[in-house]
Amino acid sequence: MKNKLEQISPRIMAIPAWVFLIFFSIVPLIYVVSSSLTNSTLAQPFKDFIWFNNYKQAILDENFGRSLLNTFLFAFVVTSLETLLGFLLAYAVRGIRGLSTLLRSIALLPMFTPPVAVSMIWKLIYDPNSGLMNHYLMQWGITKGLIAFLGDSKLAFPSIMFADIWQWTPFCFILCYAALQALPKAPFEAAEVDGASGWTVFKRLTLPLVLPQVIVVFLFKLLISLKVFDLVYMLTFGGPGNITQVASFYIYRVAFKQFNTGYAAALSFLMLLIITIIATLVIKGREFFMRRSE
Amino acid sequence: MASVELRNVWKIYKGDVEAVKNVSWKCEDREFFSILGPSGCGKSSSLRMIAGLEEITKGEIIFNDRVVNHLRPKERNVAMVFENWALYPNLSVYENIAFPLRARNMPKNIIDEKVKAAARFLDLEGILHKNAQRLSGGEMQRVSIGRAIVREPDVLIMDEPISHLDASLRARMREELKTQVSRLGVTTLYITHDQVESMAMADRIAVMNQGEIQQIGTPLEIYHHPYTEFVAGFIGEPPANFVDVEVFVEKEKHFIKCSAFSFELNKFWSKQFDSKRENRIRMGVRPEDIGISFEATENCCGLLVDFVEIQGDRTIITLKVGDQLFLSEVLGDIRPETGQTIYVKFNQDNIHFFSLEDGKNLFFDAEMKS
């Protein structure tokens, strides 16, 4: 009797997780996939079954293609910079004892702030008339006139990226810091006794040992960046023109401005596929790297 | 090559933890010197200060005639074999051994020569290109020695280098290590908690406990003439037996008495107790110095057998001494029964008497002279 209960109980305890997964992941996924095969609108879900027409349209959709490119550009640029900055910061402060709790708390602040609030603050900073950015750039003599950061076709995207880097570098910093702290101490002491210089230790020990974890950090943040929506929505609303239109924002427009939910569902599913492929590639790359280093 | 000397060295960690208390010793050039003690006795702190990985709170560390307190590890030319070996996990065997040479920017052909020589010496030639993570314990140990000796250090420090190997490999490694190190002729500091390793390999041993040096001497001195009760109890397997006894004199003869037995002391001890009047003391005797017989003889004590452990070549008998237990080690063909009374005679050449106050051997000087 007891044995049977012991056998079943793990499954019973997993039920809440299953329920959660079913209602919040599996059901929506099925819903999206099935509505992507129809001509649904916001008012008439599952109207007219049209097979893969939405997908055919998506492949030919220039706007979608451009927004995808924007997404990738955004995601790879900010993720690379954030991971690099986060790692360098973590490496710089790794030896400072007793600082870690304080640093962690401070570093987490931008992540505690709701994205909408972060976006609002950056919108105010970038403001062409009363923004802090213009104020200081002019005070320090770097620029002469007022700049509309978010309205300028060359500056709008970099401005969004800058805000994202401000918000997410701490995330990379904390993960890299943890990875550095988790390195075994003994090989580094051995290197000290062996007389290796700081640069040699970094190049031949620290970096190779920590790189697999850093790649995971990169992957995490990349997946987060590919979904970027809030900053674009709040700061530029895809503009000027559609220069900062990223995929998630385009999908939002199709669904809630054009009310074409069937098509939006197809676009969403394509996004899912593309992100999965990218994630798989990064993971495979990491495995390849780790095997080579063995 | 160098001698290593510690002069009144202290290590006090944050929070007033005194890891090393006023320790002084000198290891001569080319000597195999072992620091032996239980975990937390301060031996690792001592060695980390010698290597330069830890700051010295007070005192001086001297290589030859030079104070090295403020030198960085790489300026001291010490090499270290770490507990768990601390190989560079991402590098091959070859690169691990070459690491200290590359750190000194030696030309490639000389590095290659030296690494190959070290590999030949340690029988590592077959696995030079294996990754360090994929080695067996014995191989890792040899690689870490290779890395330590390849740059011809003045001092070789080994921190529990074989404690993590399994028992049979450990026995073989003891022998191998000793041979390799003596072939190199380098000053060696060997840190361990295993008295067997110290006894088997070291020229001299420093026994430490709770941050203090208990005794420094050759393995045999330490075994036969322990300076403190701690040393007597720590060295030897099974450990020595201790019991609180009284000395009394009757008709000009000296006797030892406790609740379970009494016996007459020989001339040597009588003379000692004549000059030093101590009444209540602690007696220590090693298991192999308790001889037993099944019949009462002169000056023996009858004791009850509590347990008999048969090990084949020898028998370990647990005896009841009042409310304490004594271990006696005898030849394997002597096998008493549990519950039997047997007759015990202590080998008085090898018993020791310790002060109840500070645990010191009361007659250490006399023992050493005899």
Q: Which of B78, B91, B133 has the CB atom closest to A193's CB atom?
A: B78
Domain for residue A52, yes or no?
no
Contact criterion met (CB < 8 Å) for B82 and A195: no
pLDDT < 50: residue spans in chain A: none
Q: Is residue A116 part of a domain?
A: yes
pLDDT at A250: 92
pLDDT digits (tens, 9 = 90+) for B80-135: 998 888 899 888 999 999 999 998 888 999 999 999 988 888 888 889 989 888 88
Long-range contacts of A93-99 (CB under 8 A, 24+ apart): A93/A177, A94/A177, A94/A180, A94/A181
CA-based nearest distance A95→chain B, Å: 15
Q: E-strand spans in chain B?
A: 4-13, 17-27, 32-36, 58-63, 66-67, 78-81, 155-159, 187-192, 204-209, 212-217, 241-250, 253-257, 262-264, 280-285, 290-293, 301-310, 314-321, 324-331, 341-346, 351-354
pLDDT the model gives residue B220: 93
| CATH number of the CATH domain containing A77 | 1.10.3720.10
Residues of B in contact with A200 (CB under 8 A): 102-103
Q: How far is A219 from chain B (nearest CA, A)?
A: 22
- Residue tagged 């490119």 (tokens): A69
Strand order in the sheet with B32-36: B78-81, B155-159, B187-192, B32-36, B204-209, B212-217
Determine, for residues A209 and B89 on separate chains, whether the beta-carbon distance falls below 8 Å: yes
A212 close to A282: Cβ distance less than 8 angstroms:
no
Going across the sheet that includes B351-354, the strands are B262-264, B253-257, B241-250, B280-285, B351-354
How far is the C-alpha of B235 from the C-alpha of B38, rounded, in Å?
Answer: 11
When pLDDT is cut at 50, 70 and 90, the band that residue B231 belongs to is very high
Instruction: Indicate yes or no: CB of A193 within 8 angstroms of CB of B53.
Output: yes
Which residues on chain B are in Cβ contact (under 8 Å) with A189? 53, 80, 82, 86
In degrees rounded to 5, what are phi and psi of residue B257? -140, 135
Q: Compute the distance between CA of residue B263 and CA of residue B257 in angstroms, rounded to an integer.
A: 7
- Which pLDDT does position A95 carry in this prediction? 75
State whether residue B42 sits within 8 Å of chain A by CB: no
**Residue A110 structural domain:** 66-245
- Contact (CB, 8 A) for B180 and B122: yes
Residue A278, in any domain of the structure: no
- Which of B74, B78, B95 would you mutate first to test chain A, the one with the most A CBs within 10 A? B74
Identify whether A138 is part of a domain. Answer: yes
- Give residue B40's pLDDT: 85
* Cβ contact A93:A177 at 8 Å: yes
Contact between residue B336 and residue B292 where contact means Cβ atoms under 8 Å apart: yes
> Chain B contacts of A193, Cβ < 8 Å?
51-53, 73-74, 78-80
* Closest CA in chain B for residue A198: B103
Contact B162, B173 (CB under 8 A): yes
Residues of A in contact with B84 (CB under 8 A): 186
In this prediction, residue A294 carries a pLDDT of 54
Kind of pairing between the strands at B204-209 and B32-36: parallel
What is the C-alpha to C-alpha distance for residues B319 and B300, in angstroms, rounded to an integer? 14
For residue B187, the tally of other CB atoms under 10 A from its CB is 24
Total domain count, chain A: 1
**Does B131 sit within 8 Å of A189, measured CB to CB?**
no
Contact A189 B133 (CB under 8 A): no
**Cβ contacts (< 8 Å) between B103 and chain A: which residues?**
191, 194-197, 200
The verdict on a CB contact (< 8 Å) between A192 and B74 is yes
In contact, B320 and B350? CB cutoff 8 Å: no
* pLDDT value for A77: 95
ipTM of the complex: 0.78
- With an 8 Å Cβ cutoff, are B103 and A200 in contact? yes
Residue of A nearest to B81 (CA): A190
Which residues in chain A are contacts of B78 at CB distance < 8 A? 193
pLDDT at B15: 79
Contact A294 B84 (CB under 8 A): no
Min mean pLDDT across A145-154, A246-255, B3-12, B241-250 is at A145-154
How does residue B215 score in pLDDT terms, banded at 50, 70 and 90?
very high
Which residues from chain A sit within 8 angstroms of residue B83, using beta carbons? Answer: 186
pLDDT above 90 (res B161): no
Q: Which residues of A touch B147 (CB under 8 A)?
A: 190, 194
Query: Region B204-227: what's the mean pLDDT?
Result: 94
Q: Is residue A94 part of a domain?
A: yes
Mean pLDDT for chain B overall: 89
- Candidates B125, B174, B172, B182; CA nearest to B149 is B182
Ordered structural domains, chain B, with CATH: 4-224 (3.40.50.300), 241-369 (2.40.50.140)
Burial group, residue A23, by CB count within 10 angstroms (0-12, 13-18, 19+): exposed
Q: Which pair of tokens denotes residue B312? A: 């084949």
Chain B residues with CB under 8 Å of A191 CB are: 88, 99, 103
Verify whether the Cβ–Cβ distance B89 to A190 is below 8 Å.
no
A16's tokens:
């809440």
Residue A70: how many other CB atoms lie within 10 Å? 22
Query: For the packed helices A261-293 and A27-36, what is the interaxial angle rounded to 10 degrees?
Result: 120
Residue A110 lies in a domain: yes
Instruction: Give domain status of residue A164, yes or no.
Output: yes
Cβ-based interface (< 8 Å): residues of A facing B: 184, 186-187, 189-197, 200, 204-205, 208-209, 293-294
Q: Are B359 and B348 in contact (CB under 8 A)?
A: no
pTM: predicted TM-score of the whole model, two decimal places: 0.76
Contacts 24+ apart (CB under 8 A), A91-98: A91/A176, A91/A180, A91/A202, A91/A206, A93/A177, A94/A177, A94/A180, A94/A181
Taking an 8 Å cut-off on Cβ atoms, the answer to whether A195 and B131 are in contact is: no
Between CA B248 and CA B94 the distance in angstroms is 69
Contact A195 B100 (CB under 8 A): yes
Q: Which of the two residues, A108 and B7, has the higher pLDDT score? A: B7
Show residues of chain A in contact with B133, CB under 8 Å: 294
Nearest residue on chain A to B102, alpha-carbon basis: A196
Which amino acid does the sequence have at A180? L
- What per-residue confidence (pLDDT) applies to A284? 87
**Helix residue ranges per DSSP H, chain A:** 2-21, 27-36, 53-60, 62-93, 100-112, 115-126, 132-139, 156-181, 186-194, 198-201, 207-226, 230-235, 247-256, 261-293
Please name the member of B99, B131, B134 whose beta carbon is closest to the beta carbon of A194: B99
- Name the closest residue on chain B to residue A207, using Cα atoms: B90
pLDDT digits 0-9 by tens, A145-165: 788 888 888 888 899 999 999
Q: Nearest CB to B82: which of A190, A197, A293?
A: A190
Helix ranges restricted to H, chain B:
43-51, 73-76, 93-103, 108-121, 137-149, 167-184, 195-201, 219-224, 229-234, 267-275, 364-369
Q: Which amino acid, residue A181?
A: Q
Quick check: is A173 in a domain? yes
CA distance A183 to chain B (A): 11
In the numeric block, the tokens 């202590």 are attached to B346
Instruction: Please give the structure tokens belonging to residue A263.
Output: 């098509």
Q: How many CB atoms lie within 10 A of CB B33?
A: 23
Size of interface A-B (CB pairs under 8 A): 68
